[in-house]
Amino acid sequence: AESFGAYMCYTSTVCAVSVLGADAEIKFSIPVGKLFTHELMRETFQNDFEPLSKLYAGRLYDDPMVFKCNLQNFPDLPEWLRFTQRHPYDNGFLYGTPTAPGKSIIEIHAINKRSYETTRQLLIINAVAGMYELPFQAEFFIKLRDIERVLPSPVQDEIKQDLQRLWKTEALEIVNITNALDRGGRVPLPLAGHFEGVYVKVGSEQYFSDCLLMVLTAEHQKQCKAGAKTRIPGECNFCSIPSNCITWCKIELVSPGICGGPGTIHLEMTLSTAGGEFNPPESPPSRDYFPDYIVTVIVPLILAIILCALLAYIMFCRREGVARRNDKTDQIQLYHHHTIHGDTEELRSMAGCRGVRPPMSTFPMFDARTGQSAPPLHSDSIPLIMPHLDNGEIKK
């Protein structure tokens, strides 16, 4: 914990917490290359939801809550920052290692799962250059842990103390903590004693201790390959709490800044040489679009023209004409039709103005052709249709 204080670039200030749950703002200044963790305390957010309930009712709710975190004006968190919360009744954690200096404004929305109220908090993280990359780094696997149980700072300190003794130095920093699920681990059955596992990466200025260098020996590699449950040699076992114990066969030593260092450095070198020169792919062969053009444009066009012509022929050339149709129709039917037409016209002209003379049909009897009224007859004998027509022609 003392060396923790030595690196104390870590200042947290609650800047503006205004009354009644308005936006709170928290500022952090952290060094690049060192693990950052921030616990989202449910109690703090609970105060935002019901700021007066504690004062007046004397009780504080313990509501389930979920958090949504994102970089301001972006849908997601910055690449280096991750968020985890196991359960709505647990606190959430933001954690990650900034890789470049810069300022990130993180928006945290807390959603109360009882009342569905929301509240917002701003987290301003200022990553400052200062701590350069630690030259010697090692990654350890802790099998019996879940990430949420490792992120609280007391647990981080316990783990760090064990590793400080393994490394034989106080100057040790946690560089990264990763959920094993992010590295292709599998979700364990919910059984007691089964955990997801956590990778913890630490770094130091000091060269690896003898215990750590044992990992590089051929003997160690052979033992681990054999798959037997290789135990940590007694003199290197510094694990004080069983759940914090590291897996001896999963230690990886890295020296990022130093050429020829142990561990994975050779891997990086082979990767960069294996690529060779960059050969841009050749442009694809040119394609003839004329057949496509014919199928999609010309053929439908021709079809449309043919249909148009067909329709025009039917509409203009195949019509019977009125005269021809009249010839085919029975004379009596035609006459009947004409009287209906005549009556309709008469009615229309009457509708036009008042005071016209009464229609002819209201006269006792009239001649259909001359309009002269005939002497009155008995109503029985009035024919419905005037049958006498000369040569089938109808005159107005």
Stretch that binds ligand NAG, among 3-11, 101-109, 170-178, 338-346 (CB under 6 A): 170-178
Residue 121 binds ligand NAG (CB under 6 A): no
Residue type, 170: E
Residue 100 or 299: which CB sits closer to ligand NAG?
A: 100
Contact 236, 166 (CB under 8 A): yes
Q: How far is the CB of 80 from ligand NAG (least distance, A)?
A: 7
Stretch that binds ligand NAG, among 46-54, 103-111, 171-179, 385-393 (CB under 6 A): 171-179
Tokens of 78: 């910055």
Residue 95 or 238: which CB sits closer to ligand NAG?
A: 95
Residue 46 or 178: which CB sits closer to ligand NAG?
A: 178
Residue 183 or 266: which CB sits closer to ligand NAG?
A: 183
Stretch that binds ligand NAG, among 5-13, 175-183, 212-220, 239-247 (CB under 6 A): 175-183
Which H or E run includes 16?
Answer: strand 11-16
Starting at the earlier edge strand, list the strands of the sheet with 81-84: 36-40, 92-96, 81-84
**Distances in whole angstroms, Cα of residue 359 to Cα of each of 97, 129, 304, 371, 379:** 105, 109, 55, 11, 18
Residue 31 or 262: which CB sits closer to ligand NAG?
A: 31
Pairing of strands 92-96, 36-40: antiparallel
Residue 81 or 123: which CB sits closer to ligand NAG?
A: 81
Q: Of these, 121, 178, 204, 244, which contacts ligand NAG (CB under 6 A)?
A: 178
Size of the site for ligand NAG (CB under 6 A): 6
Q: Of these, 99, 221, 344, 373, which contacts ligand NAG (CB under 6 A)?
A: 99
Q: How far is the CB of 61 from ligand NAG (least distance, A)?
A: 36
Q: How far is the CB of 72 from ligand NAG (least distance, A)?
A: 22
Residue 65 or 151: which CB sits closer to ligand NAG?
A: 151
**Nearby residues of 292 by Cβ (< 8 Å), 6 or more positions away:** none
Residue type, 29: S
Q: Of these, 47, 91, 97, 255, which contacts ligand NAG (CB under 6 A)?
A: 97
Q: How far is the CB of 257 from ligand NAG (least distance, A)?
A: 14
- Find where tokens 């981080």 sit: 156
Q: How far is the CB of 195 from ligand NAG (least distance, A)?
A: 18
Residue 24 or 138: which CB sits closer to ligand NAG?
A: 138
Q: How far is the CB of 300 from ligand NAG (least distance, A)?
A: 55
Q: How far is the CB of 97 from ligand NAG (least distance, A)?
A: 4
**Nearby residues of 89 by Cβ (< 8 Å), 6 or more positions away:** 42, 62, 64
Main-chain dihedrals φ then ψ at residue 78, nearest 5 degrees? -65, 160
In the Cβ-directed half-sphere of 209, how many Cα atoms lie within 13 Å? 15
Q: How far is the CB of 74 from ligand NAG (least distance, A)?
A: 18
Q: Of these, 91, 176, 204, 244, which contacts ligand NAG (CB under 6 A)?
A: 176
- 74, 76, 80, 86: CA torsion to nearest 10: 150
Residue 233: which of 254, 244, 219, 243 has the closest Cα?
Answer: 219
Starting at the earlier edge strand, list the strands of the sheet with 172-179: 172-179, 198-204, 136-142, 252-254
Q: Of these, 157, 182, 268, 367, which contacts ligand NAG (CB under 6 A)?
A: 182
Q: How far is the CB of 157 from ligand NAG (least distance, A)?
A: 20
In the Cβ-directed half-sphere of 135, how many Cα atoms lie within 13 Å? 8
Long-range pairs for 14-20 at CB < 8 Å and ≥24 separation? Answer: 19/51, 20/51
Which residues are near ligand NAG by CB under 6 A? 97, 99, 175-176, 178, 182
